[in-house]
């Protein structure tokens, strides 16, 4: 984690490269200690690409300088010993900043407070005596998830609230519009966060209005259609009574980067104890855990009424941020380097595509997959500043 002074120095170095300042950077100058505690966060695509590209450019500059070496020239050796540490320092700064970047992210929340159901298990209109209580709890959930999006700089697509439920066609159009969102510059977001709180069936399907349901397979079909060959992640957060089936099912997926964070509500509680857990309790604790570093929440404590459970797809540990392409490197070089150095673009692209340690990397990926499959960590850092947890 970078200190406040290091972050300010990084911003000054970045400003010399001509990249645009972002709102997040303005906050770093006024609230550095608070933002430094986040560890990782989201940045705009131009800054993300500029930092990653610059990290590649600096070693190329060092290698290119070796062609004009003068071992017997004292001035050259002096300048070399001065410039080399500066380039190494700049490379280290860009590398550390690249580790802090969590990519771009967008979030969408759906709250359907229909815990009163008809005999066939479908959501129905609430009785009048429950309306006020449920409205207060639902408002708390909406405020909590909006706080979560704002705290982690997640772009908010929308927060839908409906006491009568959503039809399949309405939900279909909203989710498809959400899953096809792109950044201002054109590429897809790195992470899509979908939050749902409402009635579900015993097998995990979302209960919709008119007797319709939404299965995980249907949602994944829409995701594959919109995501295509782009390596974006989908994180589903469920505050429902039957989220465990989706958590188990997502672990069988092998072609996408998908995670499901769910909740488990205790059903058997003594009468003398406090009120039983309800929908919204998990959201309150989970958001507090991810937004307040001084929280006292312990997910593994015994007798906890609201427990957490999560699952990730088989390839989750292989995920990396979208790296700049050859054209991105060329554009960045032409904007910030003299025209005489343009031939070095081909050398930079060649170095970017060179991977001498591919065997070691393949073995390392296999080990990480086995670790995630056999020894799923209690707390999993998503790289976006928030964590997935299990009890």
Final residue of a structural domain among 81, 101, 121: 101
241: pLDDT strictly greater than 80: yes
> How large is the average pLDDT for residues 364-371?
82
Let me know whether 122 and 62 are in one domain.
no
In a domain, 278, yes or no: yes
Does residue 346 have a pLDDT over 80?
no
Q: Are residues 26 and 112 in the same domain?
A: no
pLDDT above 60: residue 21: no
Domain-terminating residue out of 56, 80, 101: 101
Spatial separation of the C-alpha atoms in residues 165 and 124, rounded to whole Å: 8
What percent of the chain has a predicted confidence (pLDDT) above 70?
69
Q: Based on the structure, what is the number of domains in the chain? A: 2
Structural domain includes residue 354? no
Task: Give me the pLDDT at residue 12, please.
Answer: 44
Q: Is residue 48 part of a domain?
A: yes
From 84, 101, 118, give the residue that closes a domain.
Answer: 101
Same domain assignment for residues 182 and 93: no
Residues 157, 52 share a domain: no
Same domain, 80 and 220: no
Q: Which is nearest to 102 in space by CA: 266, 343, 319?
A: 319
For the CA atoms of 285, 287, 292, 293, the dihedral, rounded to the nearest 10 degrees, stands at 80
User: Could you tell me if 92 and 76 lie in one domain?
Assistant: yes
Question: What pLDDT score does 123 carry?
Answer: 56
Which tokens belong to 212? 């319709």
At 156-166, the pLDDT tens digits run: 998 988 877 78
| Per-residue confidence (pLDDT) for residue 192, from 0 to 100 | 96
Residue 300 domain-assigned (yes or no): yes
Q: Specify the pTM.
A: 0.77
Are 65 and 155 contained in the same domain? no
Mean pLDDT of 275-281: 80
- For 110, the 3-state DSSP assignment is strand
Q: Can you say whether the dihedral through the CA atoms of 362, 366, 372, 375 is positive or negative?
A: negative
Lowest-confidence segment of 34-43, 193-202, 293-302 by average pLDDT: 34-43
Residue 75: which domain range?
A: 4-101
Task: Specify the pLDDT at position 66.
Answer: 66
Q: In this structure, what token pair is assigned to residue 132? A: 């006020």
The DSSP secondary structure of 172-235, one letter per residue, reads HHHHHHHHT-B-TTSSBPSEEEEEEEE-B-TTSPEE-GGG-EE-HHHHHHHHHHHHTTS--EEE
Q: Quick check: 219 pLDDT over 60?
A: yes
């Amino acid at each position: 984690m970078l200190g406040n002074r290091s972050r300010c120095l990084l911003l000054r170095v970045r400003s010399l490269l001509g990249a645009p300042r972002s709102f997040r950077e303005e906050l770093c100058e006024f609230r550095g200690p608070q933002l430094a505690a986040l560890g990782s966060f989201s940045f705009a695509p131009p800054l993300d690409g500029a930092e990653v590209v610059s990290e590649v450019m600096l070693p190329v500059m060092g290698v290119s300088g070796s062609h004009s070496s003068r071992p017997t020239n004292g001035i050259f050796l002096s300048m070399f010993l001065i410039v080399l540490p500066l380039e190494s320092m700049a490379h280290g700064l860009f590398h550390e900043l690249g580790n802090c970047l969590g990519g771009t992210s967008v979030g969408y929340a759906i709250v359907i407070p229909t815990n009163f159901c008809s005999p066939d298990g479908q959501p129905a209109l609430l009785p009048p005596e429950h309306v006020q209580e449920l409205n207060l709890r639902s408002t708390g959930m909406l405020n909590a998830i909006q706080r979560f999006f704002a705290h982690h700089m997640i772009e908010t697509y929308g927060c839908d609230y409906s006491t009568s439920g959503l039809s399949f066609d309405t939900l279909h159009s909203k989710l498809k519009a959400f899953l096809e969102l792109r950044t201002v510059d054109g590429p897809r977001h790195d992470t899509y966060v979908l939050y749902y709180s409402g009635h579900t069936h015993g097998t995990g399907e979302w209960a919709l209005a008119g007797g319709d349901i939404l299965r995980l397979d249907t949602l994944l079909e829409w995701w594959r259609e919109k995501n295509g060959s782009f390596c974006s992640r989908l994180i589903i957060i469920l505050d429902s009574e039957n989220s465990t089936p989706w958590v188990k099912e997502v672990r069988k997926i092998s072609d996408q980067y998908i995670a499901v964070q769910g909740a488990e509500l205790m059903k058997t509680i003594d009468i003398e104890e406090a009120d039983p857990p309800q929908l919204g309790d998990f959201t309150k604790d989970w958001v507090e855990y991810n937004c307040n570093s001084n929280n006292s929440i312990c997910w593994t404590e015994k007798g906890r009424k609201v427990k957490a459970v999560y699952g990730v797809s088989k390839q989750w540990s292989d995920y990396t941020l979208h790296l700049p392409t050859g054209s991105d490197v060329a554009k960045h070089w032409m904007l910030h380097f003299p025209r005489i150095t343009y031939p070095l673009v081909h050398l930079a692209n060649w170095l970017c595509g060179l991977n001498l340690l591919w065997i070691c990397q393949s073995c390392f990926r296999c080990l990480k997959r086995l670790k995630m499959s056999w020894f799923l960590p209690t707390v999993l850092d998503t790289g976006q500043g928030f964590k997935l947890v299990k009890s």
